[in-house]
Amino acid sequence: MAAPNLSLKLVCVVAMLCMLIVYPRATAALSCGVVQSKLFPCLEYLDSSGEDNKDECCGGVRTLNNMARNPADRRDACNCIKRELSRLGVADDSTKTKLAQALPKTCNVNIPYKISLDFDCNK
């Protein structure tokens, strides 16, 4: 049962990371705790194959996207997410990956690239 939870967290975290690095804005740095709390509702959404918790997940996606105001915020959030991914290990679930990749469209958040596991926090 631990492996599916790791997969959910991985996919959700990657999806949120990609949304965090979209637009430059000015605000205070994001803590890992804030990033994790905003991502949490998406775990149930992905675990349920998109059936449960969509509104809460999308609310977190939109809030986190709005909170990542400047390059430092996006970089800090990205590094936090990468540390979490490392801690959890890498898991692959094609259904959850597809759901995560669809989150921007599902949640009406525009990002200029496809969500993927290959990301660089310094870009």
What pLDDT tens digit does each residue of the chain (123 aa) get?
Answer: 556 666 666 666 666 666 665 544 444 578 889 988 988 888 788 778 888 889 999 999 899 888 887 888 877 877 776 676 555 443 566 777 788 778 889 999 876 556 666 677 777
Which residues, 6 or more positions from 1, have their beta carbon under 8 angstroms from its beta carbon?
none
Is the full-model pTM beyond 0.85? no
**CA within 13 Å, CB half, 75:** 6
Q: For the chain, how big is the Rg over CA atoms in Å?
A: 13
What Å distances lie between residue 25 and 53, 95, 108, CA to CA?
29, 33, 19
Residue ranges per structural domain of the chain: 2-106
